[in-house]
Amino acid sequence: MIVFQKPKSLTDAELHYCPGCTHGIIHRLVAEAIDTLGIEGKTIGVAPVGCAVMAYNYFACDMVEAAHGRAPAVATGLKRSLPENVIFTYQGDGDLASIGMAETVHAATRNENITVVFVNNAIYGMTGGQMAPTSLPGQVTQTSPYGRDVAVAGYPIRVCEMISKLDGPEYVARVAVNNVKNVKAAGKAILKAFQNQIEGKGFSLIEVVSSCPTNWGLTPEKALQWVDEKMIPYYPLGVYKDRSAEVTEK
């Protein structure tokens, strides 16, 4: 009996990510959700600009490459013209929380019936490790060599907290992939985000706290520790908004 194998919704292409990068885990969780729900034939993904720019090579479903940050806008168009299809976006923090902030907030407040997977690793990975809107105070990056100075660069944006304050979105949750327990919880949250869309409930955003061993200058092992010790205290995990649960409670 097979306990674990590569999900069908991932292609055989070898991932280009650095050793120990947790993008691969998140790709697999999305693919597992697509497999579980049996929606491989009608799912359309929207790839971002950033490390995951070549996600279209890895997901075995139709994919669209959006301009930097515009994935939720492209997904809006896809969902409105093809309402029977399942549309997801896969975006990093440089994509979603920086140049794509307007698209994200407005898609959320319109409660567009799409699924957003947001990978937060607190740095611009693909371009070589510059400070991102989500970089932690004091974090050393290429463009903050003395650590992020909040007096100059401002404070990190907590996307889940901000989006969950809007009346629009259906489901907003933050998960992490730094250990087995958190990976399993992340898989469940991503599955729920896809289910919400199939049930027509509306906008679901899953923020996944991820690692970037290369640009943090850490080994894969130390990077996971850094997620635990630095990232999660600043970005607490949990469900920030779940409208269907609120309705049941009332």
Q: Which is nearer to another protein, 12 or 246 (CB)?
A: 12
Stretch that binds another protein, among 11-19, 43-51, 129-137, 152-160 (CB under 8 A): 11-19
235 contributes a contact to another protein by CB under 8 A: no
17 contributes a contact to another protein by CB under 8 A: yes
221 contributes a contact to another protein by CB under 8 A: yes
Torsion angle of the four alpha carbons 24, 26, 30, 33, in this order, in degrees rounded to the nearest 10: 110
Q: Please tell me the distance from the alpha carbon of residue 57 to that of residue 44, in angstroms, as a whole number.
A: 13
Per DSSP, helices labelled H in 142-209 are: 150-153, 159-164, 180-198
227 contributes a contact to another protein by CB under 8 A: no
DSSP state of 12: S
| Among positions 20, 77, 137, 168, the unique one binding another protein when judged by CB under 8 A | 20
We find the least distance from the C-beta atom of residue 95 to another protein, in angstroms, to be 20
Q: Please tell me the distance from the alpha carbon of residue 174 to that of residue 169, in angstroms, as a whole number.
A: 14
| Among positions 51, 224, 227, 237, the unique one binding another protein when judged by CB under 8 A | 224
We find the least distance from the C-beta atom of residue 6 to another protein, in angstroms, to be 4
1 contributes a contact to another protein by CB under 8 A: yes
We find the least distance from the C-beta atom of residue 14 to another protein, in angstroms, to be 5
3-state secondary structure of 179: coil
52 contributes a contact to another protein by CB under 8 A: no
Q: What are the structure tokens assigned to 145, written together?
A: 């060599």
6 contributes a contact to another protein by CB under 8 A: yes
Q: Which is nearer to another protein, 24 or 137 (CB)?
A: 24
> Within 141-200, which residues bind another protein (CB under 8 A)?
179-180, 183-184
3-state secondary structure of 198: helix
SS (H, E, C) 40-105: HHHEEEEECCCHHHHHHHCECCEEEECCCCCHHHHHHHHHHHCCCCEEEEEEEHHHHHHHCHHHHH
65: left (phi over 0), alpha (psi -120 to 50) or beta: beta
In the complex, the residues that contact another protein under the rule CB under 8 A are 1-7, 10, 14-15, 17-25, 28, 179-180, 183-184, 213, 219-221, 224
